[in-house]
């Protein structure tokens, strides 16, 4: 929606400029205004001093930059390398999509499989007690931090209203939804409260997983989401345990879990050689054992729009854990044989569920990131560096990153394509306007200068780059190029009557005030957002930093770098002409 809004505003601005502004100027110039002595004297004094600065120090600096044009370009290249070094060296971090601090916290509790419902409820009550205890401990007993809490038993809770509903009730699972006082009215930040909350929880016997996290907006998925794929579910679980140990080493990583939990104890039956000699197969043994425990459908008949099944089975009181010891099976010959004589038994813990994607078994290891300590990019880089490839290779598995990392890669791919198309469009328009293939290069060379200011601004103010910073940087490309176009157009006009150097210097002095006013008005409009302290507006500040600092630095560089580039391009053209003439003379 942002590009559409900007395009609509620019179209409206052009319409106002061509059709409304001339009328306003006509009426305004013909009106007689009352002159205020103090204002008039200030205006005349300001204009005189500005003109003296433009025709004095500024003019000499432009002449100096043109004379030392290659040194000027080298300085800009060094600044660009410095800005890139701030990112590569970690001085300026990257947070893909920061979201405003949430007023809702969700808790999910997963007990070991087979835990009775009452034990799960007791654990949820303990978590709820710990929340109020943490609030009282940090803010006093008269606080109103927790506005409401809701407990759900049998299902896990999600902060996403579009999340699919659970397909089955699990007595070993439960969740808690806590709504806090709005961020601007409370004296404690949500991450600090969550940390205090975790410290207050006293785990009950049987607790398997406890996660406490904010409800976040933005792209779907968890901060860290590592997927392992393979055919052996045991190898997947073992590898996931090693990856989870790896994640626990990094500060700022919490709520580490996988999505395949151990289930109840299972009895594995395998037909022995003696059983196969009697004619038993895995299918016949499985069917008879299931019929003995669950019953067998003796008849089905329709009743209206429904089908009724009559199932014959033993009384539930007779189905105990020892049923397999006394069960008899009927062989194909009609002989009845004890189950224990035709199968071997092995008991082990199975898995509550097995997830598949594209026909392959898969396990997901997820975690949350504390943005003030680390970032998703740093954790992903550390995991790759510390041996996740070796873990996957050792167990014969494949791995990839999902969640926000996957969304980030897709977004970057789209932005790179869009930015490339935008640059091509700008070049085509400029080449058509200037009737030159080289002049657009000098004009567009100011685009990276916005990145210099953006990187330095984030570094000075202590903010991370975000996706909104990159969107602001793309928008900034169109803003900073305006001043460059104005300057290059004026140079072309003056070159009709003046030498190149005089035309460049004169154009820089003529366009100094318009370029400066354009940048100052844009920066002034964004300054209120830059100093906004509302918690809900914090995620917009990186965009304001990008435009304010990027435009400020780019404006200063435009006034000196574009003249130097135009002179350097002319040097190149003269060198090519000289080579062409020399080649013609030799031939």
Among 329, 351, 373, the domain-final residue is: 351
What is the reported pLDDT for 575?
85
Name residue, tokens 């040194």: 71
416 shares its domain with 526: yes
Kindly give, in sequence order, each residue whose CB lies less than 8 Å from that of residue 125, ignoring residues fewer than 6 positions away: 151
Distance CA 488, CA 562 (A): 8
The strand pairing partners of 266, in sequence order, are 348
Both tokens assigned to 18: 């061509």
* CA distances, 218 to each of 4, 96, 100, 212, 414 (Å): 20, 10, 10, 19, 17
Residues 6+ apart with CB under 8 A from 258: 237, 240, 244, 363, 364, 365, 366
Confirm whether 60 is domain-assigned.
yes
Number of domains in the chain: 4
Phi, psi of 534 (to 5 degrees): -65, 135
Q: Are residues 49 and 110 in the same domain?
A: no
Q: How far apart are the first and last CA of the chain?
A: 61
179, containing H or E segment: strand 173-180
Cβ–Cβ contacts within 10 Å for residue 258, how many?
A: 19
The CATH number of the domain holding residue 317 is 3.30.2090.10
Q: Is residue 381 part of a domain?
A: no
Residue with tokens 């975790």: 198
Half-sphere exposure of 194 (CA within 13 A, CB side): 25
Helix, strand or coil, per DSSP, at residue 135: helix
Q: What size, in residues, is the chain?
A: 587
Closest to 439 in 3D by CA, of 560, 558, 568: 568
User: Do the domain assignments include residue 361?
Assistant: no
Which pLDDT score, from 0 to 100, does residue 82 have?
A: 93
Regarding whether 540 and 469 lie in a shared domain, the answer is yes
CA-CA distances (angstroms) from residue 393 to 68, 225, 236, 247, 390?
57, 19, 12, 18, 5
Could you tell me the CA-to-CA distances from 500 to 483, 503, 566 in Å, in that order? 19, 5, 9
Same domain, 481 and 453: yes
pLDDT tens for the 587 residues of the chain, in order: 667 887 888 888 888 888 888 887 777 667 666 666 777 788 888 888 988 998 889 999 999 999 998 999 899 999 999 999 998 887 888 877 777 778 889 999 988 877 888 999 999 999 999 999 999 988 888 888 888 888 999 888 876 544 444 556 778 889 999 998 888 788 888 888 888 998 999 999 888 888 888 887 666 677 888 999 988 888 888 899 899 999 988 888 888 888 877 767 778 888 888 888 888 889 988 888 888 888 888 888 888 888 888 888 878 777 776 778 888 888 888 888 888 888 888 877 777 677 777 778 888 888 888 877 788 888 888 888 888 889 999 988 888 888 888 888 888 888 888 888 888 888 898 888 888 887 788 788 888 888 898 999 999 988 888 888 888 888 888 778 888 888 888 888 888 888 888 898 898 898 888 888 888 888 888 888 888 877 777 778 888 899 899 888 888 888 888 888 888 888 888 888 888 787 777 76
Q: How far apart are CA 109 and CA 420, in angstroms?
A: 47
Q: Which residues contact 506 (CB under 8 A, 6 or more apart)?
A: 494, 498
Pairing of strands 104-111, 173-180: antiparallel
Q: Which residue has the tokens 């394509």?
A: 417
Alpha carbons 338 and 461: distance in angstroms, whole number? 78
Query: Rounded to an integer, what distance in angstroms lies between the CA atom of residue 553 and that of residue 549?
Result: 6
Alpha carbon of 562 to those of 270, 364, 470, 517: distances in Å? 81, 52, 24, 18
Does 210 lie in the same domain as 116? yes
91: domain CATH number is 1.20.1640.10
Domain that holds residue 123: 100-215
pLDDT at 160: 55
Say if residue 160 is in the same domain as residue 53: no
> How many helices (H) does the chain have, and how many strands (E)?
19, 15
Domain boundary among 351, 375, 396: 351
Give the Cα separation of 156 and 136 in Å (integer): 27
**Are 412 and 528 found together in one domain?**
yes
Please check whether residue 126 is in contact with residue 204, taking contact to mean a CB–CB distance below 8 angstroms.
yes
- Tell me if residue 493 falls in helix, strand or coil: helix
- Check: CB of residue 166 under 8 Å from CB of residue 174: no
Closest CA to 259 of 209, 203, 213, 207: 209
Instruction: Write the burial class of residue 343 (CB in 10 Å: 0-12 exposed, 13-18 middle, 19+ buried).
Output: buried
Of 183, 135, 132, give the one whose Cα is nearest residue 535.
183
Question: Residue 546 domain-assigned?
Answer: yes
Q: What was the pLDDT predicted at 421? A: 87
> What pLDDT is attached to residue 161?
47
Asked if residue 220 belongs to a domain, the reply is no
Is the same domain home to 314 and 299?
yes
Strand-pair category, 253-258 with 398-401: unpaired
| 567 in the same domain as 463 | yes
Is 466 among the domain residues?
yes
Structure tokens given for 212 = 């406490």
**Same domain membership, residue 471 and residue 443:** yes
Please give the C-alpha separations between residue 439 and each of 49, 420, 431, 562, in angstroms, as whole numbers: 33, 19, 7, 10
Q: Does one domain contain both 478 and 507?
A: yes
Within-domain flag for 69: yes
CA 301 distance to own-chain centroid: 56
The domain boundary, picked from 303, 323, 351, lies at 351
**Distance from C-alpha of 73 to C-alpha of 137, rounded to nearest angstrom:** 59
DSSP per residue, 37-70? HHHHHHHHHHHHHHHHHIIIIIHHHHHHHHHTHH
Assess if residue 164 is contained within a domain: yes
Query: Do residues 22 and 50 both lie within one domain?
Result: no
Contact 458, 545 (CB under 8 A): yes
């Amino acid at each position: 929606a942002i590009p559409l809004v900007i395009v609509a505003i620019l179209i409206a601005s052009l319409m106002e400029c061509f059709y409304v502004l001339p009328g306003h100027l006509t009426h305004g110039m013909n009106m007689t205004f009352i002159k205020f002595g103090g204002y008039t004297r200030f205006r005349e004094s300001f204009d005189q001093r500005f003109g003296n600065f433009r025709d004095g120090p500024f003019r000499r600096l432009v002449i100096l930059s043109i004379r030392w044009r290659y040194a000027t370009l080298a300085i800009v290249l060094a600044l660009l390398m410095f800005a890139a070094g701030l990112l590569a060296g970690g001085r300026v971090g990257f947070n893909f999509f920061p979201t405003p601090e949430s007023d809702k916290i969700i808790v999910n509790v997963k007990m070991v499989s087979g835990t009775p419902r009452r034990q799960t409820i007791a654990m949820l009550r303990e978590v709820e007690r710990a929340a109020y205890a943490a609030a009282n401990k940090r803010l006093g007993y008269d606080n109103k931090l927790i506005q409401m809490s809701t407990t759900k038993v049998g299902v896990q809770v999600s902060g996403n209203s579009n999340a699919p509903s659970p397909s089955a009730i699990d007595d070993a699972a439960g969740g808690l939804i806590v709504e806090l006082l709005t961020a601007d009215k409370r004296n404690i930040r949500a991450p600090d409260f969550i940390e205090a909350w975790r410290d207050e929880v006293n785990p009950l016997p049987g607790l398997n997983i406890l996660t406490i996290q904010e409800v976040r907006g933005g792209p779907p998925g968890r901060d860290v989401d590592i997927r392992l794929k393979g055919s052996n579910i045991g190898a997947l679980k073992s590898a996931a345990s090693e990856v989870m140990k790896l994640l626990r080493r990094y500060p700022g990583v919490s709520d580490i879990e996988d999505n395949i939990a151990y289930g109840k104890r299972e009895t594995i039956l395998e037909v022995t050689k003696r059983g196969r000699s009697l004619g038993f197969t895995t299918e016949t043994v499985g069917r008879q054992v299931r019929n003995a425990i669950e019953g067998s459908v003796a008849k089905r008949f329709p009743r209206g729009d429904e089908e009724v099944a009559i199932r014959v089975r033993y009384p539930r009181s007779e189905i105990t854990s020892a049923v397999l010891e006394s069960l008899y099976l009927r062989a194909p010959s009609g002989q009845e044989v004890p189950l224990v004589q035709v199968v071997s038994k092995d008991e082990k813990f199975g898995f509550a569920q097995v997830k598949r994607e594209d026909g392959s078994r898969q396990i997901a290891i997820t975690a949350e990131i504390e943005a003030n300590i680390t970032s998703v990019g740093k954790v992903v880089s550390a995991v790759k560096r510390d041996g996740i490839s070796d873990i996957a290779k050792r167990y014969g598995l494949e791995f990839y990153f999902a969640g926000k990392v996957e969304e980030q890669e897709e977004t970057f791919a789209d932005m790179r394509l869009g930015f490339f198309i935008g640059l091509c469009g700008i070049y085509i328009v400029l080449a058509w306007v200037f009737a030159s293939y080289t002049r657009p290069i000098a004009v567009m060379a100011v685009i990276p200068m916005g990145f210099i200011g953006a990187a330095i601004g984030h570094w000075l103010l202590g903010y991370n780059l975000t996706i909104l910073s990159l969107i602001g940087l793309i928008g900034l490309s169109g803003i900073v190029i305006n001043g460059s176009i104005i300057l290059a157009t004026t140079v072309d006009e003056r070159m009709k009557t003046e030498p190149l150097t005089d035309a460049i210097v004169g154009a820089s002095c003529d366009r100094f005030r318009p370029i400066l006013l354009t940048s100052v008005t844009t920066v002034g409009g964004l300054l209120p957002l830059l100093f906004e302290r509302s918690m809900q507006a914090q995620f917009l500040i990186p965009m304001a930093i990008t435009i304010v600092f990027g435009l400020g630095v780019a404006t200063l560089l435009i006034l000196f770098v574009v003249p130097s580039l135009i002179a350097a391009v002319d040097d190149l053209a003269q060198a090519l002409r000289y080579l062409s003439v020399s080649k013609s003379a030799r031939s």
